[in-house]
Structure 1
Amino acid sequence: MNAVTNLLEKGTILIVDDTPDNLNLLSSILSKSGYKVHPAPSSKLALRFIQSNLPDLILLDIMMPGMDGYEVCNRLKASPRTQDIPIIFISALHEIFDKVKAFSLGGVDYIIKPFESQEVLARVENQLRLRRLSKELLEQNLKLTAELEERKRIEEALREQKELLQTIFDHIPVMLTLYDNEGRFHLVNREFQRLLGISQEEIHQINILEELFPDSNIRTLVLEHMIAATGRWQDFKLRNRWGNYVDTSWANIRLNHDTIVGIGQDITERKQAEDASVLEERNRMAREIHDTLAQAFTGILVHLGAASRVMEGASEEAKEHIKTVRDLARRGLTEARRSVEALRPQLLEDGDLCSALNRLTMQMHSYSNTRIICEVTGEVYSLRTDIENNLLRIAQEALTNAVKYAKASEIRVEMIYEQTRCLLKIKDDGRGFDTDSASVNNSYGLLGMRERAQHIGGNT
């Protein structure tokens, strides 16, 4: 078994020569060296053998009857099946012309008769080694080609999947982000860019969290929610590139150790609906207070007036009781009206924000010596009810502070309508105060004004 294996490993050699002595000698030399040898005394027998057996090497004589070695070589090189078999010409012809012709037809070597056995073995081994290396190289190339084709196929499949995922990523109607455990953004989709105005290229150039959440305390809470990646939804108000605040809700899901996906929804319409519902409930409560409590106190005062006239001759003690009841009823009516005013600004019921500001400044001017100027800049457009309500309350608080505490002689109220934002400016020439003081915030209602501005997505 080992001998057979050795023969197969050494290689199979076809010897073609019409001279028996040469044929026997070459067969003996090569067989003793471990090669498997097939002798062929003519060209026809050699070609017939090759039809069913492909040798690893051919030793080919040139001068043979009928069909010489050149013709045999020419036929073998013309066939794709046999063109790669190395052919060593072995001949008594030693002219340069013969050698050139042999090599031009595809021969790999040329041995001149008479030959030395060692020379034959060396040249045969050299060509078979080259043959083996060529086969190995060819196999490696085929394997590499197959691997490259498989890699191309996989890359193409991955590219198609990536394009599909990118299409879904970009066209899904929610905001999507990919970020790491440090809160660094790596990818945002089109909805994120459209709503917040921050492009994919910019996320690597700016601090996204600082851009969206200017308040450091809120930013810390947002980052904690992002890194925790619990999948629970949480509402955040964030500032877009144009300076407007947007109500959003976010849930975060961890994909792997260092990658988290954030899913965000624009809940502005939901918040507006909630605010509208709250406002409607406030208006309902205001109507109830006005129609029941305030009317009841008014009725009590009317009847107390009538009772006072009837009881003119009553004792001083009785009159004092009636006076006390009348004072209590008046205070109750005042509180009821104040509650109605707090729940539903009467100024906004009769018109828009601009007309409400005009009436407010006229009212305040009527009981103060302060000159109050109200101006409107830009083309007026409607704002949400909750925004107009909060802006009016902020203006009312600021005007009251300016008149009551700043001792201003002139106050200027300016409402500016721009394409993407609306500005309320109130300036006075009175004395100022430290806005960072806690006592000032509580006394002058600055904290309340800031909270109202934040509630509607504004800045102070």
Structure 2
Amino acid sequence: MSGIEKNLVRGTILIVDDTPDNLNLLSSILLKAGYKVHPAPSSKLALRFIQSNLPDLILLDIMMSGMDGYEVCRLVKSSLKTQDIPIIFISALHEVLDKVKAFSLGGVDYIIKPFESQEVLARVENQLRLRRLSKELLEQNLRLTAELEERKRVEEALRQQKELLQTIFDHIPVMLTLYDNEGRIHLVNREFKRLLGIYREEIHQIDILEDLFPDPKIRALVLEHMIAATGRWQDFKIRTGLGHYIDTSWANIRLNNDTIIGIGQDITERKQAEEASVLEERNRMAREIHDTLAQAFTGIIVHLGAASRVIEEASEDAREHIQIVRDLARRGLTEARRSVEALRPQLLENGDLCSALKRLTMQMQSYSQARIICEVTGEVYPLGSDIETNLLRIGQEALTNAVKYADASEIRVEMIYEQTRCLLRIKDDGQGFDAESPSISNGYGLLGIRERARHIEAELTIRTHPGEGTEVVVLISDQ
């Protein structure tokens, strides 16, 4: 190692002593040991040097002419720039009070004249070692402080980004989820919570997929669709927190290797519209069959009966052919009626309107908090396929509205049979609504209810007011 490298490694020492012999001796001892030495023969020169050069250590004589060592130490320790420089006092004074004063002013060691070179080197090296360790510790603390500040900054930035992402999520009117490659959901939005009744605080405490899809086979299909993340939409029935099921459609998009976003829509209204469309088409087909085939076959049968009476004298063969045609017409009429019946709603397939209404209320009771009562008054009689189908759909729509929007404690469904008329009433004690509002009067399925009532020539009455519940009454009179 060269002399310059040694000086850089061992440190810089300022020697302050107004006695030339002591100054030269200390300089010689320290230079030979490899230290970089700056001798100062007076206090003023020492202070001037310190202002432009910061030594690693100061050897300071106490008894000097003019400004003594105590005052020099006080000035050095009073400056923020120089207060950390260690000072070793060198003096012939060896009284305890002198040492106490030296240490009280900030000195780190005390060497008594006459001194030994080995003692000086040992004390100097000890203080420089402590100085180096102190610098290293300070630098390490500064690095740790900087790293901690950076970590806090990054964490705050991540927190703000997460809050921003959650805010964006919560204002998008579709269900959104963020999940990993294992299907574990880490973030959901407000619409997800609203529709499914699962709170963000719960997502780390429960198996969301198991709650939403109790059937293991369906759950496996859903998970496969999630992980594939093809962006293709697929429909699934999901169980909500209240225990009932809603129709949804989901598409999943991979954001990066570890994160996938799921986008879901409530398609209940779309499904209901599709079902209503199918029902309307079935009703149209039933009316077509009834108005064409059934009536045609009936007319044929009537005319064949009349023909039989007119040609009583006809041959046996002619009467036999007429009978065959009559039988064929009757079988055609039976098949036409069977086709009409086959197009009726599923709830009406195995029973009358009252039975269908009771089954409907039982189904809705399973996922509604309200108490649903279904009552039948009077002697039940058939109303005709078209009338019963439309009454069932009106009842279904009104009951669904009451369950979904009324926030009612009790919903009552009544079917009243009288001699000249029958009446369907759906009444709840919920929050009601403003029926005069254009946005509401055409919403909640009311438009469809009115159209069905007009189709079967029924009298429709809707009584409601905010805070006073809702009553829907459909009256069928004997024409």
TM-score of the alignment, normalized to the shorter chain, above 0.5: yes
CA distance in 2 between partners of 1:143 and 1:213 (Å): 51
Conserved 8 A contact 2:399-2:426:
no
In the other structure, the counterpart of 1:101 is 101
Q: Deviation at 1:298?
A: 2.5
Alpha-carbon distance change, 94 to 187 in structure 1, aligned in 2, over 3 angstroms: same
Question: Unpaired runs of 5+ in structure 2?
Answer: 358-375, 383-393, 401-424, 431-479
In the other structure, the counterpart of 2:132 is 132
CA distance in 1 between partners of 2:204 and 2:147 (Å): 36
Alpha-carbon distance change, 419 to 106 in structure 1, aligned in 2, over 3 angstroms: same
Q: Deviation at 1:81?
A: 1.2
In the other structure, the counterpart of 1:384 is 397
Alpha-carbon distance change, 89 to 212 in structure 1, aligned in 2, over 3 angstroms: closer
Q: Deviation at 1:256?
A: 6.1
In the other structure, the counterpart of 2:197 is 197
Question: What secondary structure is seen at the aligned counterpart in 1 of 2:25?
Answer: helix
Q: Deviation at 1:85?
A: 1.1
Residues paired across the two proteins, number: 373
In the other structure, the counterpart of 1:71 is 71
Question: What secondary structure is seen at the aligned counterpart in 1 of 2:235?
Answer: strand
CA distance in 2 between partners of 1:101 and 1:6 (Å): 35
Alpha-carbon distance change, 111 to 229 in structure 1, aligned in 2, over 3 angstroms: same
Conserved 8 A contact 2:286-2:343:
yes
Give the letter for the 1:234 counterpart.
Q
Q: Deviation at 1:307?
A: 2.5
In the other structure, the counterpart of 2:13 is 13
Conserved 8 A contact 1:178-1:259:
yes
Alpha-carbon distance change, 206 to 135 in structure 1, aligned in 2, over 3 angstroms: closer
Q: Deviations over 1:391-450 (max 9, x none)?
A: xxxxxxxxxxxxxxxxxxxxxxxx999999xxxxxxxxxxxxxxxxxxxxxxxxxxxxxx
Alpha-carbon distance change, 173 to 305 in structure 1, aligned in 2, over 3 angstroms: same
Give the letter for the 1:383 counterpart.
Q
Q: Deviation at 1:226?
A: 3.8
CA distance in 1 between partners of 2:215 and 2:428 (Å): 25
CA distance in 1 between partners of 2:66 and 2:40 (Å): 14
In the other structure, the counterpart of 1:335 is 335
In the other structure, the counterpart of 1:272 is 272
Q: Deviation at 1:76?
A: 0.9
In the other structure, the counterpart of 2:380 is 362
In the other structure, the counterpart of 2:241 is 241
Question: What secondary structure is seen at the aligned counterpart in 1 of 2:380?
Answer: helix
Q: Deviation at 1:68?
A: 0.8
CA distance in 2 between partners of 1:354 and 1:130 (Å): 97
Q: Deviation at 1:43?
A: 0.9
Q: Deviation at 1:171?
A: 4.2
CA distance in 1 between partners of 2:171 and 2:89 (Å): 72
1:142-291 to 2 correspondences below 5 Å: 142-178=142-178, 185=185, 187-200=187-200, 208-254=208-254, 260-291=260-291
Conserved 8 A contact 2:398-2:426:
no
Question: Unpaired runs of 5+ in structure 1?
Answer: 365-380, 388-414, 421-460
CA distance in 2 between partners of 1:360 and 1:271 (Å): 35
CA distance in 2 between partners of 1:217 and 1:416 (Å): 38
Q: Deviations over 1:335-388 (max 9, x none)?
A: 22232233247x99xxx9559866998359xxxxxxxxxxxxxxxx9313999x
Give the letter for the 1:384 counterpart.
E
Alpha-carbon distance change, 385 to 114 in structure 1, aligned in 2, over 3 angstroms: closer
Alpha-carbon distance change, 149 to 241 in structure 1, aligned in 2, over 3 angstroms: closer
Question: What secondary structure is seen at the aligned counterpart in 1 of 2:264?
Answer: strand
Question: What secondary structure is seen at the aligned counterpart in 1 of 2:67?
Answer: coil
Alpha-carbon distance change, 128 to 171 in structure 1, aligned in 2, over 3 angstroms: same
Question: What secondary structure is seen at the aligned counterpart in 2 of 1:83?
Answer: coil
TM-score by length of structure 2 reads: 0.69
- Whether 1:34 and 2:34 are equivalent positions in the alignment is yes
Alpha-carbon distance change, 99 to 139 in structure 1, aligned in 2, over 3 angstroms: same
Q: Which moved more, 1:185-194 or 1:328-337?
A: 185-194
